[in-house]
Chain A
Amino acid sequence: MLNYLARRVGSSVIQLLGLALLSFTLIHLVPGNPVRTMLGGRASPQQVHQVSEALGLTRPLINQFLGFLGHLLTGNFGQSFTFSQGIGSLISQRLLPSVMLILFGTLVALLIGVPLAVVGALRSDRPIDHGIRIFTTVSFAMPTFWSGLVLALIFALKLNWLPVSGYTPGFVGIVRSLTLPAIALGLSLLAVIVRTLRSSVRHVLSLEYVEAAQARGFSTPRILFKHVMRNAIMPTATVLAVNVGFLIGGTVVLEQVFQIPGLGTLLFQAVQQRDYPLVETLAVLSGAVVVLLNLSTDIMQGIVDPRVRLGGKSV
């Protein structure tokens, strides 16, 4: 176990370093001098130099990279150009809406997806299974921003049940303001959840002990919950962890549709206003979230299932 843990943590650290290096390289690929781009064409050479120095851009690249890493590790992300505020505090102000949206969206996907997957598995290759598959295909093919717009048109503009945009803190506020975007986000995730879960449920159902349980006359619901679901939880968690990057991407777009003041909106504003330090930090942090989530699901899986840590997985 320790061995597995060490290997897994080691590769995650390398991945995190890679993320930092990639973001760093991207920003340094900015054609010309990034400071000049930020300050505009008329900035005097002295001004450019002054800012470059303030940003530490006059140091050798390797020192700059090490400095950047140091900042990331200490949580001191520097200053945003656009908002003249520390990047750390900017992010902390914007974190909650995005996290809530992702959690809520995942919840919606699970609430719809789990029953569909179970039904699909139990009735596999029957018309209802095909129906479910077609439904998930459609939900997969819908752009999140478009389903968001259509939901807003129906439930906010026509029926006036829910707000059309914005974000209100507090439980009721979150439920009201994030329901529509969460449905749009959940729909985009639905296909992958239903498909994974369906096939793992089918797999478990075909296992001998389940068949034995059936033979012993246990009722289907009981078998489902006792054996099947328990065994299907881990694959679903893995799928969710793997897709968290996809969810983060979805929130970037949906936060625009619904004007939610989250990290997606912040990233979008940073991109539009060429706030490179902010873009860089947000990119690394979002990648780190993906890496760390995957790491923790893998570790959990290693604990639950010895086969994993014995090398079945990390090819």
Chain B
Amino acid sequence: MSDTFTTTSRTTRFRFRIRNWELSLGVAMLGIIVIAGLFAPLLAPYPPNQIDILHSLQAPSFSHLMGTDFVGRDVFSRVLYGVRIDVFVVALITYAGLVIGVIIGTVAGYFGGWLDAIIGRVTDTVVSFPFIVLVLAVVAIVGPGLKGVAIGIVLVGWALYSRLARSEMLAMREQPFMLATRALGYSTPRAIFRHALPNLVRSSLVYSTVDVVVNMLVLAGMSYLGLGQQAPGADLGSIIASGQGYLLTAWWITTIPGTVLVLFGIGVSMIGDGLTRGELSMATV
């Protein structure tokens, strides 16, 4: 346990030297977006669903920073609330998938044998399904709404983490500190959860920065298709979709939430890159 910790902190220092700016920029971008979503109720100048049809499709101004939509709702307020729900849902589903996947993968890797074989085949099957197709199939069954989309994403999302954790576990199983747990007579759960997991979860966490972006895009895509967030709820994908008919007359409805989505993705990716780069450099040293 203790030697892992040293490894980690050494990596951290190294990473910060190499990719400091990228990581910091990513953290800053993501931070602003997350805080904006978190404090949406305080920051939003209007209730997100308050319509004012006599002031519809107004261009951005001081009273409406991002303009208004076709029924006069304040786009800025809707974007804030949209970020709030999207970030919450994405974090929830990504890390639910991570937890489930890591546990399954670790168990498979630790025990090996037929259990591993079965889990491996299930993982392969799930991974080979085109992601969006499977999410759509789940939505067809559960019905449109964030719930169906979330279930669908988690149903697919765990598999890659499971693969990752399994291969790490395989490698780790033979390492001295894991052998030691057996020699010391620790129970299997203790060996897995106290000693192995904390070490394998790092690579999954790094990978999750990619996954968060992908999930956000899928979530937005589903809402864009009208299968995610239902009206009048605000969500970045549905705001973009609702502005599609007004591309020429009211560009702000579509372009601004889209930009927020892109910035979110860039922020998360930069964090991921920062972490990975640090690791890669570490590996080459």
- A246 to B129 CA separation, bound complex (whole angstroms): 9
A204 within 8 A of B: no
**B-chain residues with CB within 8 Å of residue A244 when the two chains form the complex:** 130
A142 in contact with B125 given A149-B240, A252-B133, A290-B130 (CB within 8 Å): no
Give the contact stretch, choosing among A24-32, A110-118, A170-178, A211-219: A24-32
- A268 to B131 CA separation, bound complex (whole angstroms): 14
- A2 to B263 CA separation, bound complex (whole angstroms): 49
- A79 to B130 CA separation, bound complex (whole angstroms): 23
- A217 to B203 CA separation, bound complex (whole angstroms): 42
Chain B contact surface mostly: helix
**A-chain residues with CB within 8 Å of residue B48 when the two chains form the complex:** none
Closest to B135 in A: A249
User: Considering only CB atoms and an 8 Å cut-off, how many residues of chain B contact the other chain?
Assistant: 47
A144 in contact with B221 given A14-B121, A29-B141 (CB within 8 Å): yes
- A280 to B129 CA separation, bound complex (whole angstroms): 12
A287 within 8 A of B: yes
User: Which B residues from 125 to 159 make CB contacts under 8 A with A?
Assistant: 125-126, 128-134, 136-141
A1 within 8 A of B: no
Closest to B225 in A: A256
- A143 to B214 CA separation, bound complex (whole angstroms): 9
**B-chain residues with CB within 8 Å of residue A30 when the two chains form the complex:** 141
A153 within 8 A of B: yes
- A138 to B269 CA separation, bound complex (whole angstroms): 9
- Whether B248 and A271, one on each chain, are in contact in the complex, defined by CB atoms closer than 8 angstroms, is no
- Whether A145 and B132, one on each chain, are in contact in the complex, defined by CB atoms closer than 8 angstroms, is no
**B-chain residues with CB within 8 Å of residue A246 when the two chains form the complex:** 130-131
**B-chain residues with CB within 8 Å of residue A104 when the two chains form the complex:** none
B252 within 8 A of A: no
**B-chain residues with CB within 8 Å of residue A29 when the two chains form the complex:** 141
A253 in contact with B264 given A15-B128, A19-B125, A267-B136 (CB within 8 Å): no
1/0 contact string of A10-34 vs chain B (CB within 8 Å): 0100110011011100110111000
**A-chain residues with CB within 8 Å of residue B255 when the two chains form the complex:** 150
- Whether B213 and A19, one on each chain, are in contact in the complex, defined by CB atoms closer than 8 angstroms, is no
- Whether B132 and A253, one on each chain, are in contact in the complex, defined by CB atoms closer than 8 angstroms, is yes
A141 in contact with B261 given A249-B133, A268-B136 (CB within 8 Å): yes
A6 within 8 A of B: no
- Whether B261 and A143, one on each chain, are in contact in the complex, defined by CB atoms closer than 8 angstroms, is yes
* CB < 8 Å neighbour of A141 from B122, B124, B134, B265: B265
- A315 to B112 CA separation, bound complex (whole angstroms): 12
B247 within 8 A of A: yes
- Whether A18 and B122, one on each chain, are in contact in the complex, defined by CB atoms closer than 8 angstroms, is yes
- Whether B264 and A141, one on each chain, are in contact in the complex, defined by CB atoms closer than 8 angstroms, is yes
* CB < 8 Å neighbour of A146 from B170, B258, B263, B266: B258
- Whether B269 and A137, one on each chain, are in contact in the complex, defined by CB atoms closer than 8 angstroms, is yes
A185 within 8 A of B: no
User: Which A residues from 230 to 276 make CB contacts under 8 A with B?
Assistant: 244-246, 248-250, 252-253, 256, 267-268, 270-271, 274, 276
Closest to A31 in B: B141
**B-chain residues with CB within 8 Å of residue A283 when the two chains form the complex:** 129, 133-134, 137
B237 within 8 A of A: yes
B244 within 8 A of A: yes
B40 within 8 A of A: no
B80 within 8 A of A: no
Closest to A290 in B: B128
- A276 to B121 CA separation, bound complex (whole angstroms): 25
Among B218, B220, B244, B262, the one with the most A-chain Cβ atoms within 10 Å of its Cβ is: B262
User: Considering only CB atoms and an 8 Å cut-off, how many residues of chain A contact the other chain?
Assistant: 53
A133 within 8 A of B: yes
**A-chain residues with CB within 8 Å of residue B224 when the two chains form the complex:** 143, 145-146, 253, 256
B69 within 8 A of A: no
User: Which B residues from 41 to 94 make CB contacts under 8 A with A?
Assistant: none
- Whether B217 and A245, one on each chain, are in contact in the complex, defined by CB atoms closer than 8 angstroms, is no
- Whether A19 and B265, one on each chain, are in contact in the complex, defined by CB atoms closer than 8 angstroms, is no
**B-chain residues with CB within 8 Å of residue A280 when the two chains form the complex:** 137
**B-chain residues with CB within 8 Å of residue A143 when the two chains form the complex:** 217, 220-221, 224, 237, 240, 258, 261-262
- Whether A141 and B213, one on each chain, are in contact in the complex, defined by CB atoms closer than 8 angstroms, is yes
- Whether A146 and B122, one on each chain, are in contact in the complex, defined by CB atoms closer than 8 angstroms, is no
Closest to B258 in A: A146
- A315 to B133 CA separation, bound complex (whole angstroms): 27
* CB < 8 Å neighbour of B133 from A14, A256, A287, A294: A287
A15 in contact with B124 given A137-B273, A146-B240 (CB within 8 Å): yes
- Whether A248 and B137, one on each chain, are in contact in the complex, defined by CB atoms closer than 8 angstroms, is no
**A-chain residues with CB within 8 Å of residue B124 when the two chains form the complex:** 11, 14-15, 18
List the 9 closest pairs (A to B, CB-CB), nearest first.
Answer: A141-B265, A249-B132, A18-B125, A245-B130, A248-B130, A146-B258, A271-B140, A290-B128, A287-B129
A-B contact pairs, 15 of them (CB 8 A): A21-B125, A22-B125, A22-B129, A26-B137, A141-B268, A149-B240, A245-B133, A249-B133, A250-B132, A253-B132, A253-B224, A283-B134, A286-B130, A287-B128, A287-B133
